Amino acid sequence: MPLFDHFDLLAPLYDKVIGYKDPVKIIDLGGFPVEGMVLDAGGGTGRISQALLGKAAQLIVLDLSYRMLQKANQKIGLKPVCSHTEYLPFPNETFDVVVMVDALHHVCDQYDTVLELLRVVKTGGRIVIEEPDIRTFVVKLVALAEKLTLMRSRFLSPEQIGALFPTEAGKVTIHRDSFNAWITLQKMAE
C-alpha cells in the first residue's frame, strides 16, 4: 500500500500541466453523440469528459483520487463518483459508452478493470480505451520516469490490452498515432 497517492498530489496542477485535449478520436470511436449515459473510468479531473458535454445525457467521471474528483466537480455538468475501476458501483448494462483515457496502466488490476467496463456497458455499446503506446521510445521514457517516481504503472501493448477482453465479448479494433493507441470494442449480445 503506497504512503501517498500521486494523483491526490498532482490534482491542483494536473489540468494546467497536462493541458486541455480535444478528444477527437474518442468522439469518433465512441460514436458520439449518444442518447444515454457515459462513464469516464479513471477520468480524474474530467479533462476528457468536459469535451463530451452536450454529447450524452449524463457524464459520470469515476476515479479513485478524491482530489482529482474535486476538480471534476468544479466542471458544470460532470457527475463525480469515487471508486475503483476494478469494482464499479453500477448495475450491468448501464452505459452507452465507456471511455478510459491514460488510466489503464495506473490501475492495480487491468483484467478485472476490463471485465468491469464490459459488465457496465450496454449490449451494442462501446468501450474505448486510450493508452500511451509502450512500443514507442517516448512512452518508454515516460514509463521509466513513472517507475523512478514510484508510480505503480504497468504498461501493456495495444494487443495485450485487446487480449484482456473475452473473445466472445466482441471484435476489438486498434488505432494508433505517433504515441497513443485506442482499443475499441463494441459489446455483442451473449
Ligand X SMILES: C[S@@+](CC[C@H](N)C(=O)[O-])C[C@H]1O[C@@H](n2cnc3c(N)ncnc32)[C@H](O)[C@@H]1O
Between 85 and 186, whose beta carbon lies closer to ligand X?
A: 85
* Shortest spacing between CB 102 and ligand X, in angstroms: 4
Burial class (CB in 10 A: 0-12, 13-18, 19+), 24: exposed
Does 72 participate in binding ligand X (rule CB under 6 A)?
no
Does 52 participate in binding ligand X (rule CB under 6 A)?
no
Residue 2, preceding peptide bond in cis (omega within 30° of 0): no
Between 108 and 188, whose beta carbon lies closer to ligand X?
A: 108
Between 4 and 190, whose beta carbon lies closer to ligand X?
A: 4
Does 169 participate in binding ligand X (rule CB under 6 A)?
no
Q: Which three cell numbers stand for residue 101?
A: 483515457
Q: Which three cell numbers stand for residue 13?
A: 496542477
Q: Which three cell numbers stand for residue 109?
A: 488490476
Between 123 and 160, whose beta carbon lies closer to ligand X?
A: 160
Between 78 and 169, whose beta carbon lies closer to ligand X?
A: 78
Measure the CA–CA gap between 159 and 110, rounded to whole angstroms.
Answer: 14
Which of these ranges, 82-90, 121-129, 157-165, 171-179, lies near ligand X under the rule CB under 6 A?
A: 82-90
Does 139 participate in binding ligand X (rule CB under 6 A)?
no
* Shortest spacing between CB 5 and ligand X, in angstroms: 7
Does 47 participate in binding ligand X (rule CB under 6 A)?
yes
Q: Where are the alpha helices (DSSP H) in 24-78?
A: 24-29, 66-73
162 near 186, Cβ under 8 Å? no
Measure the CA–CA gap between 88 and 115, rounded to whole angstroms.
Answer: 10
Between 101 and 183, whose beta carbon lies closer to ligand X?
A: 101
- Residues 91-120 vs ligand X: string with x where CB under 6 A? ----------xxx--xxx------------
Among 52, 68, 128, 134, indicate the residue that binds ligand X (CB under 6 A): 68
The packing angle between helices 6-18 and 66-73, to 10°, is 40
Bridge partners of 127, per DSSP, are 98, 185
Bridge partners of 79, per DSSP, are 60
**Which residues make up the interface to ligand X (CB under 6 A)?**
7, 42-44, 47-48, 63-65, 68, 84-86, 101-103, 106-108
